[in-house]
Chain A
Amino acid sequence: DADVTQTPRNRITKTGKRIMLECSQTKGHDRMYWYRQDPGLGLRLIYYSFDVKDINKGEISDGYSVSRQAQAKFSLSLESAIPNQTALYFCATSDSGVGKETQYFGPGTRLLVL
């Protein structure tokens, strides 16, 4: 089984709808991240969480919210989806501490907002 899973893998929604993307991990890592990937722009950080009680905005958090339900679960919500939120979304995890900086990515969720 994959260490980092994302559901759904693909989603089509309409402008104004609320949707939630979910991420679960079995790696036992404290740190979790949400990124979006757009062609030519690379990955941009939306939110990150260093533990269950610590949630921080990334560089493009407007229009998004997150919930860290447990160490293993980190959800991303679009309260009112808009077309420019169409993108590929990745969840990632990492351990804490020097030498443990590697991030482990889920397979991605492809979101289309009509």
Chain B
Amino acid sequence: AQSVTQLGSHVSVSEGALVLLRCNYSSSVPPYLFWYVQYPNQGLQLLLKYTTGATLVKGINGFEAEFKKSETSFHLTKPSAHMSDAAEYFCAVSDSGGYQKVTFGTGTKLQVIP
């Protein structure tokens, strides 16, 4: 079984400040890990993903995440928040086998304060 925990359903940061959204996972097999973003009134779109290889993954819009196996974490960061980053962010995990069932976290709403 696999699961995802996102700490903090709401996060507020000032424009220009560091963005840190936390994600911890559990998985009985090597995981694939994802961050998706949902802008208001839209579907989810992929920000970045980790499958194998380099543990620091860079995504769109300046976001990156680091897979830390020892901590079972995949936290999302961005050095400097923009107003346009205000959205809901979902961490997700799937197993690395052929089944590819994806389990989503409960989401974190990011508010960017001018």
Q: Interface residues, chain A, CB within 8 Å of chain B?
A: 4, 31, 35, 40-45, 48, 90, 92, 94, 96, 98-99, 101-103, 105-108
Are A101 and B105 in contact (CB-based, < 8 A)? Answer: no
Instruction: Pick the residue among B45, B49, B51, B101 that contacts A45 (CB under 8 A).
Output: B101
Are B107 and A42 in contact (CB-based, < 8 A)? Answer: yes
Give the residue name and chain of the B residue nearest to A6 (CB).
B43
Are B43 and A102 in contact (CB-based, < 8 A)? Answer: no
Are A40 and B46 in contact (CB-based, < 8 A)? Answer: no
Are B104 and A43 in contact (CB-based, < 8 A)? Answer: yes
Give the residue name and chain of the A residue nearest to B99 (CB).
A50
Are A90 and B32 in contact (CB-based, < 8 A)? Answer: no
B14 at the interface (CB under 8 A from A): no
Instruction: Pick the residue among A102, A106, A107 that contacts B49 (CB under 8 A).
Output: A102
CA separation between A96 and B94, bound complex, in Å? 13
Are B43 and A42 in contact (CB-based, < 8 A)? Answer: no
Are B100 and A101 in contact (CB-based, < 8 A)? Answer: yes
List 26 A–B pairs whose Cβ atoms lie within 8 Å, in order of A's numbering. Answer: A40-B9, A40-B107, A42-B90, A42-B105, A42-B107, A43-B44, A43-B104, A44-B104, A45-B101, A90-B43, A90-B44, A92-B43, A101-B94, A101-B102, A102-B34, A102-B46, A102-B49, A103-B44, A103-B46, A105-B43, A105-B44, A106-B43, A107-B42, A107-B43, A108-B41, A108-B43
